[in-house]
Amino acid sequence: MAPKFFGIAVLVAITIFATGAVAQENELTGIIGRTFISDQGVIGAIGTDTVLHSGNGLTFEVNYGHRIWNGGLAALTFEVPFVFNPDEDLHFKHNVIPEGYASYFITPSVRANLFPSSGLSPWISFGGGFGHFSEKSELEFGGANQGDTGTNTGVLQMGVGLDVKILKTLSLRGQLRDFYSGVPQLNIDTGKSRQHNLFVGGGVVWHF
């Protein structure tokens, strides 16, 4: 399914650019932050601490955006967030889960900014695409992971944030994005097929 999602996203982007959107404004954004994933109970586990714990993985985002409409008080931007979490640590009391995983999400989206030309511009974003989990090949307490070590997933993206202009071509950005994805293969049953990956971060936007 992932190549299909990507193909649709590329076609949408080409269509938007080819139609000559009203304001030829582009931006490139770099964000650094943390991904937060809620702990989950494990079905069938006995004793105390029957919960899968996730760390707060250091996460990076690169985002290309193209302004497709500007109405003065509000504006729409087609954006493509690419978010990479290189090391999401995991903990469970039994030695059955991988020690962690890496993940990335690519979610073409539309972002709506209020007061896009002012010094403070709040925004919301919505879109969808695909993601990938790369489960580690070793178990948490040692030994080989016999489970899957590569999982593709469809992803929905919902975000809110604030842009603060500091120069004509530069803004600071703070944001919260929820990447609602499938789950990695961790050799346990949490009873869930989807999870919220909450990315909180801040960075710089270059307008050109």
The percentage of residues in the chain with a pLDDT greater than 90, rounded to a whole number, is 87
Q: What is the pLDDT of residues 126-184, one digit of tens each?
A: 999 999 999 999 999 999 999 999 999 999 999 999 999 999 999 999 999 999 999 99
Q: Considering its fold, how many domains does the chain have in total?
A: 1
CATH code of 133's domain: 2.40.160.20
Q: Whole-model pTM above 0.85?
A: yes
Alpha-carbon distance of 77 to 26, in angstroms, equals 9
Long-range contacts, stretch 6-14, CB < 8 angstroms, 24+ apart: 6/106, 6/129, 6/130, 9/80, 9/106, 9/108, 9/129, 12/78, 12/108, 13/66, 13/78, 13/80, 13/108
Range of the domain at 11: 2-207
